[in-house]
A = this chain, B = another copy of it.
């Protein structure tokens, strides 16, 4: 992990510009906040926050993506979130003082911005709008969790595969004339841990979908979806 203070590179790509919770502030205020922020970089596979650790700052992802997971009783890891550019975490611990409930690990080289507890709390007092923004963002994240819980509770694994493909298509998809290409942020094993099924089951289901012409595997990290409607059908929407 590498730490930069007032990293010059970030001056033109203000990380806080990307964060919805700061969106109500004007450029002047943003510039002031910028001075408070410290930057770090992590290599792929490095851990940003450990479960049970007490983080003392809010962390905003500026570049790259990271997975948040918990270890289950049977020794696997259950992925809770895949954070990418603009997502933040650690805010909960600042209020409750409780240790992190999950581990966050870089899936790619990751650049983050850090705001300390004290600075963050000052911001909340100075800009009350931010608190409301946070409530909204937490609400959104809860909705996502509720959906995940719903889909993982669906016994039909085919549906779940469809749901995860829809989610990733929206977050990591690009469209071209042949359809939508999903740039998967996680491996097959990661998908399995996200879905709560075995690695091999994911392989089999994806192969099956490929045979049916619903998807086309370009390489391990890219999937082409010619017709998104068929995925929605699969997901049971």
Contacts and interface: CB of A to CB of B under 8 A. Distances in A.
A149 B78 contact: yes
Interface of A: 70, 72-74, 76, 78, 80, 91-92, 95-96, 101-102, 124, 128, 131-132, 134-136, 138-143, 145-156, 159, 193, 195-198, 235-237
Contacts of A153: 72, 76, 78, 152, 193, 195-196
B148 A149 contact: yes
B236 A154 contact: no
A207 B141 CA distance: 37
A80 B131 contact: no
A132 B132 CA distance: 9
Nearest to A74: B156
Contacts of A139: 91-92, 95-96, 138
A196 B159 CA distance: 14
Given A72-B154, A131-B135, A80 B196 contact: no
A149 B73 contact: no
Contacts of A151: 72
Contacts of A74: 154-156, 159, 236
Contact of A128 (B131, B141, B196): B131
A148 B145 CA distance: 10
A197 B76 CA distance: 20
A91 B142 CA distance: 12
Contacts of A197: 155
Nearest to A92: B139
Nearest to A81: B146
A156 B73 contact: yes
A146 B101 contact: yes
Contacts of A70: 146-147, 150
A135 B95 contact: yes
A142 B196 contact: no
Nearest to A133: B95
